Structure 1
Amino acid sequence: MLSLGIDIGGTKIASGLVDAAGAVHEARSHLVEGPAETAFHQVLDLARSHLASYPIQHIGVVLPGGVDPKTRVVASAPHLGWTDMPLAQRLGAELNRGVHVENDANAAAWAEHRFGAGRGGDSTALITIGTGIGGGLVVDNRLLVGRHGLGGQLGHIPRVTGGHPCACGADGCWEQYASGSALRAEARRRNWRPGPITGEEVLSAAVHGDPAAVRLIEWVSGHLAHGLTTIAAFLDPGEVVLGGGLGSDKRFVEYVRAALDAFHPSPSRGPVTVVGAELGIHSGVIGAADLAATVGGSAPR
């Protein structure tokens, strides 16, 4: 039986039919065309087009935003203009099927745990390294979402007392020291070179032997490794999976592993196992579909 996964991103809506092995079929992608109600009807039309061609029992939808773990109401999705949006209920009523709604990072963590780099284990931590730090946590084969659906907001773990200000309103958050934007900001502070800077450029320069770039990558991977040891201490995951624009680069993963070697693991736990994400751009669709099939959607009203 195929399940439908829909991933609502900042600029596009991706969808696909996912089988029991996590393989994606009939993948589609459309640009997000307008404000709140327009986006809803895009998702609805996309779901209907899949349903017209295939017998689909389960439907999952994921998006970057807070989702109430009990009601599946989207508490906030600023890029869509949604506040307290009963997305699962509205889609379920229109499609006459249960719909499961989840945060996209949680869904990606679930997908990697089930079918990607964390498959076969009991617990997986996904850390996405991009503009900020995102991710999700699976503990004992259960997605950890927390009381308000905000579990796994790893980028806002306190890292440096009185450190760099964060957009969340706090100072010294982990993502201010171990993300792609943190790397770019530090490169500017150190006057690495004039003009716009990308994390990929710094990493590439480091790989090719630029001493200043090497120091920058070692700086960001060191902060990342420090946070990973904290996560390992209280979760003891089977694997820490790195994803996102910077984190999924195999060259960066090697720097992180080297930084972790500098820490002394607990003799009883052993070293932190860090691997790169495997599912790429399909992780949200796969996670959405499989969560719908595994957890079940909200009953249509």
Structure 2
Amino acid sequence: MLNIDKEPRTLRTVSDFAAVPPGQLPDCLRAFKHWIQVRAAPADTLDGPVEFVWVPPVPAAAPASEALTPLTDIGKLGLRPGALQQFRRMNIFALEDFSAVSAAEMGRLVNVGSTTVARIRDMLRSVGLDFRAGDEPRTRARPRPDARPTEAASFGDATPLVGLRLKPQTLGKLTLHGLRTVGELRELTPAQLAALLTMRRRQEVFRLLRAHGVNLRPQPTELELWRHGLVPVADLARPSDESSVLSLQPWFGAGPTEAALDAGIATVGQLHALAAAGAMPAGVRGIGPSTWSRIRRFLLARDGARSASVA
């Protein structure tokens, strides 16, 4: 069926111009002005009757929308700003994050109506996902490193990655790189994890591995974990006296620890003995009074913790 608003119009009278759809009239008048300028004689007169044929322009086709994927940012879903603010407060940043929320929970949000919920459900289903079943509130508590899931007995290398209970975006990043099981994840080195994930996400992965009582293979040192951002300094185990003095780098940096090693102080125990004696290491370039004071407090605080535990 033809759309008469897009068909050519022959305009001869003012009434013909008045019949042009309002949305087309500005373009029509501009075209008519150009037509007059082109056809006008030098004396500004037109030969013959005025008969202007107006051909409405064909609107440019809208660009094809970006195909949805589970990792599509919610800012690209055409949702209202008020709804986007609500979702981001819930740590929902990608389309797949909605699969961790029930439709009923969504419907209780301010600025989120049933139409928005239905649209999001359609988008989820277009990528093979859906809202979480049930109406229980979503758990947002961060698992503690020492927590043990109730299903730990059945947890192993063959467990799908979803069994780690990773955040949807983290899980999506790993599966995009072909990882499907916990065993495959454990085979990655700290450097490989650092190349795949942001620091926040790789710390999430390692924290949940530890929560399930497993580690990477081979088990990395605390220094390796820190260097590649898998564990924050606050969660690192303090090095023993038998450890290399370089294991103090997370707390004091490379300069002072390498300076101590160059001066013949190879272990934490040797540095600890100097700290207990109160003497600043002689001839060590790179450890000034302020740094030495920090090192002493750090090493002697461990002694205080030991004494308290014995008492």
TM bracket (short chain): under 0.3
- Higher fraction of strand: 1
Q: TM-score, normalised by structure 1?
A: 0.23
Q: TM-score, normalised by structure 2?
A: 0.23
Tell me which structure has the larger Cα radius of gyration: 2
> Which has the higher relative contact order, 1 or 2, with Cα contacts under 8 A spaced 6 or more apart?
1
